[in-house]
């Protein structure tokens, strides 16, 4: 008989619970998993302020549930649950009813207004995707109105903002708004002095979960951004255009065009309804045992914000944080599987939290992080870096590469007005049509190199012994000469004799130890061959100059030399090599001893160069060909080295790596078609190896 698991809510905890269950039960044909949410997407609640204050696009904070669960045994239902019958083991929504054997309550939270008159009617909340989009539109609309308003008092009222609450959401919202205001003032030609921003809270300091030092740093930052703080002050009432604040025994009414409510949360409606039946407290949070089961009903598991549980040795219940959602989802999923299969042991919930971070706009943040018994503060740059890194870790669990790429795009590559902790250094764009000439020229050079190697006989006989050996000899000659004091080695010395022999292998010409003629071709691979041939012949006459010879723990050696005295050198004389012992072993052991392997590698290189060239010239699969171009260049740097006059090819490949073929290239037609069909391939969707 089929066992049914129903999950109410697709927030952080519900989503992860469903994914963990689906992964571990994928071979259980008699188990069904259903996740129910009123939205067809998962919302990044911790990023709502970024949308509300216009820093990122609204699509950046939502993740399609169908895409998350594509190729997985999870039924996604778009419905709003109205009631739960714990005796009959069924839940009823506006669309249909769902029976269950195991129920996971992951409904999350909603804003709590504490009975303050007018708060729910007139204040703007920030607890959903719709809230963020509505608030963004509202803020811009009020600036539009203010730009046209001729009455100064009315203009000031439109430009007065109060954020109620100085916890995580309130501080991040007011910081984001303060950062956004100068942008809007410039756009609508409004004097910044006409805009007023306040944060109000009954507590004596902001974000009290942080150490005093960090709270003070945030206060100073907000003050610098023009935000006024009204602490030890409670909100009495809110009207259409005012807010009443009580400080001590004094109540004052302040003009307010916009009030944003972030003062507290309570369990969502359906969790609140469940709390009337199940043992609960603290604004509808459900009491659980150590295994995250309702103390009244062992078939009902509770995760995320709805948990009311105090771990052994702790004084307070688990906090309503994202990390609690992530950790509780894993424990609940494991315990459901144990109960379902009758194998293994139940796991107690013993969360270990690693700190908190608060962002004050896109450029500044603070963090108190570490291990449970050893927390430390991070400076702003590292705090912001940690915040983005943790988000990426979460996205790896949820939507893999697809969401990571999207996140990086929204947060760094398209962000405007320098609203990022790295400023706008990644966001400025070069028009793609300016790269067309570079792309075609790079392709022509690769094509030329491939054709020339065919002419030189790379399809007919092994060439790699001289190709690799001559280069190594030349570098060793210069390095050994430097080690001997920089003197010119004798023509009959063993080092010079070896160098001449290596040169003979490369250029197939013997003219004595003192003179070897070299044909130099300035290119990626021929440049490498030059390092193997041109200077190898000259080594019989003179030792060049060592500019850098650095070994890193024996893992690799950085070599930078000139074939002539530095004062007489050109780019054609300066060569760079990254000497990697593992690469050397591979070449000497697996390639050079076997002529057939040499010939295979030669044909592979020639074909690759020709295909890269044609691809770049035609602008077809440009990202793939540019990437492979970089791989070949790195291979040459690690084997033969490159002259500096060929390094432009590395930078050119980087420049056209992303989207280089979408202008005057075949990628303009091919990529949209392939993208459309690729993301519908079953395994691509399951592994999230596609890009929207």
What angle, 0 to 180 degrees and rounded to 10, lies between the N-to-C axes of helices 212-224 and 168-188?
Answer: 10
Rounded to whole angstroms, the Cα distance separating 231 from 222 reads 13
Phi, psi of 149 (to 5 degrees): -75, 130
pLDDT at 373: 83
Token pair 């190898």 is at which residue? 536
**Short-list 4, 18, 2, CA closest to 89:** 4
Angle at 556 between CA 552 and CA 561, to 5 degrees: 95
Give this prediction's pTM. Answer: 0.82
Q: Which of 399, 350, 322, 389 is closest to 11 using CA atoms? A: 322
Q: Cα-flanking dihedrals φ and ψ of residue 301, to 5°?
A: -105, 145
Residue 508 has what pLDDT?
32
SS3 for 45?
A: helix
Strand partners, 255: 242
Looking at the DSSP bridge assignments, the partners of residue 141 are none
Q: In the chain, which residues have pLDDT < 50?
A: 486-541
- DSSP track, 463-504: -HHHHHHHHHHHHHHHHHHHHTTSPPPPTTSHHHHHHHHHHH
Q: Are 381 and 365 in contact (CB under 8 A)?
A: no
Question: 3-state DSSP helix/strand/coil percent for the chain, to nearest 5?
Answer: 45, 20, 35
* Non-local CB neighbours of 665 within 8 Å, separated by 6+ positions: 436, 439, 618, 619, 620, 622
Could you tell me how many helices (H) and strands (E) the chain has, helices first?
22, 31
| Those residues with Cβ within 8 angstroms of residue 139's Cβ, 6 or more apart along the chain or in another chain | 52, 53, 54, 161, 177, 180, 184, 258
Do the beta carbons of residue 376 and residue 395 sit within 8 Å?
Answer: no
Say if residues 527 and 649 touch (Cβ distance below 8 Å).
Answer: no
Which three-class secondary structure string do you get for 575-598?
Answer: EEEEECHHHHHHHHHHHCCCHHHH
SS3 sequence, 431-462?
CHHHHHHHHHHHHHHHHHHHHHHHHCCCCCCC
**Predicted pLDDT at 495:** 32
678 neighbors 663 (Cβ within 8 angstroms): no
Kindly state the tokens that stand for 490. 């004798």
Q: What residues contact 494, with CB distance under 8 A and at least 6 apart?
A: none
Q: What is the pLDDT of residue 20?
A: 96
CA distance 390 to 393: 5
Buried b (16+ CB within 10 A) or exposed e, 379-392: ebeebbbbbbebbe
Q: What is the pLDDT of residue 469?
A: 83
Tokens for 279? 């043992």
**Cα separation of 70 and 684, whole Å?**
9
Which pLDDT does position 94 carry in this prediction? 96
> What is the rounded CA–CA span in Å between residue 512 and residue 504?
10
Q: What is the pLDDT of residue 527?
A: 46
Question: Residue 12: helix, strand or coil by DSSP?
Answer: helix
Name the one residue in this structure whose structure tokens are 């392997």: 597
C-alpha 339/C-alpha 567 separation (Å) is 78
Sequence-separated (6 or more) residues with CB below 8 Å from residue 159: 142, 143, 146, 190, 194, 195, 196, 257
| Contacts with 515 (C-beta within 8 Å, 6 or more apart), sequence order | 537, 540, 541
The pair of three-digit structure tokens given for residue 82, joined into one six-digit string: 């109205």
Asked if 507 and 537 touch (Cβ cutoff 8 Å), the reply is: yes
Maximal C-alpha separation, the chain: 103
Give 674's contacts (C-beta < 8 A, 6+ positions apart): none
- As a whole number of angstroms, the distance between CA 496 and CA 138 comes to 79
**What pLDDT score was predicted for residue 425?**
87
Query: CA-to-CA distance for 69 and 56, rounded, in angstroms?
Result: 25
Residues 59, 484: Cα–Cα separation, whole Å: 65
């Amino acid at each position: 008989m089929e066992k049914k698991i129903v999950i109410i809510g697709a927030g952080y905890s519900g989503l992860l619970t469903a994914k963990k269950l689906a992964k571990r039960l994928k071979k259980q044909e008699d188990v069904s998993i259903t996740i129910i949410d009123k939205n067809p997407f998962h919302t990044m609640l911790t990023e709502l302020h970024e949308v509300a204050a216009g820093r990122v696009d609204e699509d950046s904070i939502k993740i399609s549930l169908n895409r998350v669960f594509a190729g997985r045994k999870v039924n996604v239902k778009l419905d709003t649950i109205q009631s739960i019958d714990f005796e009959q083991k069924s839940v009823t929504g506006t669309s249909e009813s769902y029976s269950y054997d195991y129920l996971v309550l992951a409904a999350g939270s909603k804003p709590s207004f504490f009975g303050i008159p007018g708060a729910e009617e007139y204040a703007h909340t920030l607890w959903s995707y719709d809230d963020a989009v509505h608030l963004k539109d509202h803020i811009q609309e009020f600036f539009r109105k203010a730009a046209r308003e001729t009455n100064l008092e009315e203009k000031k009222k439109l430009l007065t903002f109060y954020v109620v609450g100085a916890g995580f959401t309130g501080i991040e919202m007011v910081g984001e708004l303060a950062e956004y205001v100068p942008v809007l003032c410039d756009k609508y030609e409004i004097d910044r002095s006409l805009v007023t921003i306040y944060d109000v809270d009954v507590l004596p300091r902001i974000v009290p979960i942080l150490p005093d030092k960090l709270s003070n740093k945030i206060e100073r930052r907000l003050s610098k951004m023009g935000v006024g703080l009204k602490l030890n002050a409670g909100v009495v009432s809110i009207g259409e255009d005012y807010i009443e604040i009580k400080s001590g025994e004094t109540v004052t009414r302040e003009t307010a065009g916009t009030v944003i409510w972030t003062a507290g949360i309570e369990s969502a409606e359906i969790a609140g309804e469940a709390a009337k039946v199940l043992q609960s407290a603290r604004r509808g949070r459900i009491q659980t045992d150590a295994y995250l089961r309702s103390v009244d009903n062992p078939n009902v598991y509770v995760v995320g914000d709805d948990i009311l549980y105090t771990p052994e040795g702790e004084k307070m219940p688990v906090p309503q944080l994202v990390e609690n959602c992530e950790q509780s989802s894993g424990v609940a999923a494991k315990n459901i599987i144990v109960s379902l299969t009758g194998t293994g042991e139940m796991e107690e919930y013993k969360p270990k939290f690693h700190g908190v971070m608060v962002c004050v706009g896109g450029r500044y943040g603070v963090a108190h992080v570490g291990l449970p018994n050893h927390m430390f503060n991070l400076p702003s740059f590292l705090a912001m870096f940690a915040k983005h890194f943790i988000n990426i870790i979460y996205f790896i669990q949820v939507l893999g590469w697809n969401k990571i790429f999207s996140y990086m795009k929204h947060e760094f590559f398209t962000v405007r007005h320098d609203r990022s902790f790295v400023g706008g250094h990644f966001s400025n764009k070069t028009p793609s049509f300016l790269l067309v000439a570079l792309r075609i020229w790079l392709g022509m050079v690769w094509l030329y190199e491939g054709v020339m190697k065919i002419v030189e006989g790379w399809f007919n006989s092994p060439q790699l012994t001289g190709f690799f050996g001559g280069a190594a000899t030349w570098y060793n000659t210069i390095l050994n000469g430097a080690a001997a004091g920089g003197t010119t080695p004798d023509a009959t010395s063993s080092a010079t004799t070896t160098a001449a022999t290596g040169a003979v292998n490369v250029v197939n010409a013997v003219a004595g130890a003192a003179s070897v003629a070299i044909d130099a071709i300035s290119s990626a691979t021929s440049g490498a061959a030059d390092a193997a041939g041109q200077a190898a012949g000259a080594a019989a006459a003179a030792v060049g100059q060592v500019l850098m010879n650095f070994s890193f723990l024996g893992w690799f050696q950085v070599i930078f030399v000139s074939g002539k005295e530095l004062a007489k050198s050109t780019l054609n004389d300066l060569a760079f090599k990254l000497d990697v012992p593992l690469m050397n072993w591979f070449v000497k052991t697996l390639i050079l001893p076997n002529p057939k392997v040499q010939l295979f590698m030669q044909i592979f290189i020639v074909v690759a160069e020709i295909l890269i060239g044609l691809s770049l010239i035609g602008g077809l699969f440009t990202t793939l060909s540019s990437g492979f171009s970089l791989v070949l260049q790195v291979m040459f740097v690690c084997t033969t080295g490159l002259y500096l006059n060929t390094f432009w090819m590395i930078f050119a490949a980087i420049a056209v790596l992303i989207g280089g073929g979408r202008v005057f290239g075949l990628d303009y037609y091919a990529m949209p078609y392939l993208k459309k069909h690729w993301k519908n391939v079953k395994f691509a969707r399951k592994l999230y190896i596609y890009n929207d």
